[in-house]
A and B are shown apart, each in its own frame.
Chain A
Amino acid sequence: MELMIAVAVIMVKVVLITVILFIVPVPLTWLERKIAGHIQQRMGPMRVGWHGLLQPVADGLKLLTKEDNIPDQSDRVLFKIAPFVALVPPFMVFVAVPFGEDVSILGYETPLYLSDMNVGLLYILAVAGLEIYGVIFGGWASNSKYALLGSLRTCAQLISYEIPMGFAVIGVIMLSQSMNLSDIVDAQEPLWFIIYQPLGFFIFFIAGLAEAQRIPFDLAEAEGDLGAGYHTEYSGMRFSFFMISEYLVMLTISVLCVLLFFGGWHGVLIPLPAPIWLALKVGFFIYLFMWFRFTFPRYRYDQLMSIGWKVLVPLSILNILITGIFIY
């Protein structure tokens, strides 16, 4: 019986998380368009539903019923699987992400995560890195020069920004003495790590912007020079998978920022349920991402690389040194 309940709970959680993750991009696209609108003194979607709330639904349905075009000279297999390869890693990341402390539902104590790995952080960084394959496959299989250039840029960018990102996290691990995400959050109970690790957070955030391919690092789909970048040739449903994956990566980075540096679900002053605090903080970061997008231009490819290797990597090593001295 115990086992049955445990399995059932896990199943429920899996379904819940999957559904939530599939749904989250819907309000996010609406939010992005609304934020863009208001920053630009426009209104954003207005006609579909109340203040355009149903706009993402209409977009999604339309993309679903659109012709799924596969270019003639493309590598068909890779072209078909690329969107799924891009879509799966962000889902896998959330296996190890805790959303709050243990709660008791119907007298049954359950933790608010799927799997409490003791190397959760490592797992997340590793799995998130897999997303590159979708992009590479997509760009390569399209047999289009724009897509190829876009995917080449993405590869180089993602790989080189993984390094400072990983290094930046080391400071956090040193402070919390654990790679388990709930332990890290618990270690921030008295004081958030942003206080101890401002440099670390800064590096992590910049690298996160690059990992999520948002402006000023959105070279993969730089409209200005590459048309639509690696998904130039994608249409309909497959294109929407890339979009969902993009939003989920953004969500992942925001969640990580909050868990690692901003105290996770621990609130300040106002007592609110843990997941709500988490959602609020994540929402702030997502807003930050969007705010940046509509304010800044983008870097050039070589400038991006030099920032990654010449600025962020040395800084992150410095951060580790400082943290080491500090702890010692």
Chain B
Amino acid sequence: MTDISLLSKNEAGQKLTKELLLNLGPQHPSTHGVLRIMLELDGEEIRGVDTIIGYLHRGTEKLAENFTYTQIIPLTDRLDYLCAPSNNLAYVLAVERLLEIKAPERAQYIRVMMAEMARISGHLLISGALPMDLGAMTTLLYVMREREMIMDLMEMITGARMHTSFCRVGGVREDLPDGFEPRCREFCHVMKQRIDDYERLISENRIFLKRTRDIGKISGEQAIDWGLSGPCLRASGVSWDMRRDNPYEIYDRLSFEVIVRENGDCYDRWKCRMDEMRESVKLIEQCLDQMPAGPVAVAMPDIAFPLNKITVKSSMEAMIHHFDVSAYGFPVPKGEAYVSIEAPKGELGFYIISDGSPKPLRMKVRAPSFINLQALAVLARGCYLADVIAIIGSLDPVIAEVDK
């Protein structure tokens, strides 16, 4: 029997066929934004992957060097736009580390609660987008329906649906509004059932299993070597969650389970997010249960805006502080701090170097999507064209965060 592969070669053994270069993106329905991937295809099999990013590079870090510490807060929203409160939280924690202050307890609970809501909203979207990329459109519609509830709660608390800008250095912007708690509890109640619905629709489905099981596999050591974090790392069997291992804010008072799965394939990454949403719902409920009374921002007029404008008008000193903070920002002690939190996508770190002025000398964002996306080249090698879509979906890159 002749070897079929010989047919594509001439007598000298040179290959007569050549790889097809396929350009996926930057505008493509399932690259989750403006990601561009150059694929070297042999038939439908992938020989090489080159990920080209930067189509959404907006210069956030450069801009931050020209902004005061307060003005940067709205910028951080727009990094990982699916879960803005997490970004706010990481940023203000870094500034607070430099100022060596801590937000009041109630503010910490509110922040954590919102970060968990953001986690659900981020995970929801991706757990709907992955099946949609594989053809199951309805899942996306269902998850967006529940996401609207989170958007509604966010609008109720902060006034914006996506870009909350709610955390402030030394606290949060406002207290929770009236009527929030029953709504939030209702949401938790509904959400638990709805996650079951998604699982019923998709997680046992043989087609979905076939498309995601053993696709894009990565082992634990390799995942660490490639710097994966968050659900992508935990799906490979590495039990590392900053909320448990390096607790920040009030996570040490809450009880939750760190979801770890063994296989490290697309299905496990997806499933990991599903289960994390359940944990997040529990965390939100715990936050609501434990929520203490008290102020929501530190009483430091030289840093935080007073919420009540009457105090500004009542004393000259407060007035001067207010004008100072608004117009020129507040100086931050010289030094550098790196603070990272467990964002929905993985380790989100803010590294701020301050030279003692009201503007940072350098602000570096350790964007988890950026690092996670890097592993695409390793995961996709040897897969089929259609698998690349599943792998991108399971890595969950948010291009705004990748490109900064």
To the question of whether A and B form a pair in one complex, the answer is: yes
State in angstroms the CA–CA spacing of A119 and B134 once bound together.
40
Which chain B residues in 371-392 approach chain A with CB under 8 Å? Answer: 384-389
Q: Which residues of chain A have C-beta atoms less than 8 A from B138's C-beta? A: 39-40, 294-295
Chain B contact residue count (CB 8 A cutoff) = 32
The answer, yes or no, to whether B63 is at the interface (CB within 8 Å) is no
- Does A215 sit at the interface, judged by CB under 8 A? yes
> Which residues 177-223 of B have a CB within 8 angstroms of A?
201-202, 205, 207-208, 210-211
A232 to chain B: closest CB distance in Å? 11
Query: Considering the complex, which residues of chain B in the window 130-147 have a beta carbon less than 8 Å from any beta carbon of chain A?
Result: 131-138, 141-142, 145
**In the bound complex, do residue A300 and residue B135 qualify as a contact, i.e. CB atoms below 8 Å apart?**
no
A41→B143 CA distance, assembly (Å)? 12
Say which residue of A42, A215, A227, A299 sits within 8 Å of B210 (CB atoms).
Answer: A299
Mask of A23-66 contacts with B, CB within 8 angstroms, 1/0: 00000000000001001111000000000000000000000000
Binds B, one of A109-117, A218-226, A237-245, A318-326: A218-226
Q: Is B51 an interface residue, CB under 8 A from the partner?
A: no
Q: How far, in angstroms, from A147 to B201 measured CA to CA in the complex?
A: 31
Answer whether residue A72 sits at the interface, using C-beta atoms and an 8 A cutoff. no
Query: Mask for A189-227, Cβ within 8 A of B = 1, else 0?
Result: 000000000000000000000000001101100111101
Nearest-neighbor residue (CB-CB) of B210 within chain A: A303
Residue of B nearest to A37 (CB): B141
Asked whether, in the complex, the Cβ of B30 is within 8 Å of the Cβ of A223, the reply is yes
Distance in Å from the Cβ of A38 to the closest Cβ of chain B?
11
Main SS at interface, chain A = loop
Contact between B137 and A302, CB atoms less than 8 A apart: no
Tell me whether A298 is interfacial, beta carbon within 8 Å: yes
Is A21's beta carbon under 8 Å from chain B? no
Which among A215, A219, A223 has the highest number of chain B CB atoms within 10 Å? A223
> How many angstroms from the CA of A227 to the CA of B25 in the assembled complex?
10
Take A145-B22, A302-B44 as given contacts and tell me if A297 and B141 are in contact as well, using a CB distance cutoff of 8 Å.
Answer: no
- Is B56 an interface residue when CB atoms closer than 8 A count as contact? no
| CB of A10 closer than 8 Å to a CB of B | no
How far apart sit A296 and B209, CA to CA, in the bound complex (Å)? 12
CA distance A41 to B44 in the complex (A): 36
B15 at the interface (CB under 8 A from A): no
Q: Return chain A residues, CB-CB under 8 Å to B388.
A: 225
* Interface: A149 (CB within 8 A): yes
| Interface secondary structure of B, over-half rule | helix
Q: B59 within 8 Å of A by Cβ?
A: no
For A302, what are the chain B residues with a Cβ–Cβ distance below 8 Å? 44, 384
Q: Does the CB pair A297–B30 fall under 8 Å?
A: no
- Interface contact B385-A297, CB-CB below 8 Å: no
A residues near B20, Cβ cutoff 8 Å: 145
> Given A225-B30, A227-B28, do A297 and B136 touch, yes or no (CB 8 Å)?
yes
CA distance A164 to B23 in the complex (A): 35
Closest Cβ of chain A: how far from B238's Cβ, in Å? Answer: 28
What residues on B are CB-neighbors of A299 within 8 Å? 207, 210-211
- From B30, B385, B389, give the contact of A149 (CB < 8 A): B385
Which chain B residues numbered 116 to 161 have a C-beta less than 8 Å away from chain A?
Answer: 131-138, 141-142, 145
Task: Check A301 for interface membership: any CB of B closer than 8 A.
Answer: yes
A297 near B44: Cβ-Cβ < 8 Å: no
Q: In whole angstroms, what is the CA distance A120 to B389 when docked?
A: 43
In angstroms, Cα B210 to Cα A301, docked, is: 12
Residues of A within 8 A of B137 (CB): 36, 40, 294
Q: How far is the CA of A291 from the CA of B210 in the complex (A)?
A: 21
Q: Is the CB of B135 within 8 A of A216?
A: yes
Q: Out of B205, B207, B210, B389, which one reaches A224, CB within 8 Å? A: B389
Contact (Cβ within 8 A) B207 A297: yes
Query: Contact between A227 and B211 (Cβ–Cβ < 8 Å)?
Result: no
Closest A residue to B133 by beta carbon equals A224
Residues on B facing A (Cβ under 8 Å): 20, 22-24, 28-30, 44, 131-138, 141-142, 145, 201-202, 205, 207-208, 210-211, 384-389
22 contacts between A and B (CB under 8 A): A41-B142, A41-B145, A145-B22, A149-B22, A216-B135, A218-B135, A223-B29, A224-B29, A224-B389, A225-B30, A225-B388, A227-B28, A296-B135, A297-B135, A297-B208, A297-B211, A298-B211, A299-B207, A300-B210, A300-B211, A300-B387, A302-B44
Other than A40-B141, A41-B142, A145-B20, give 7 A-B pairs with Cβ distance below 8 A: A219-B386, A224-B29, A296-B136, A297-B136, A299-B207, A301-B384, A302-B384
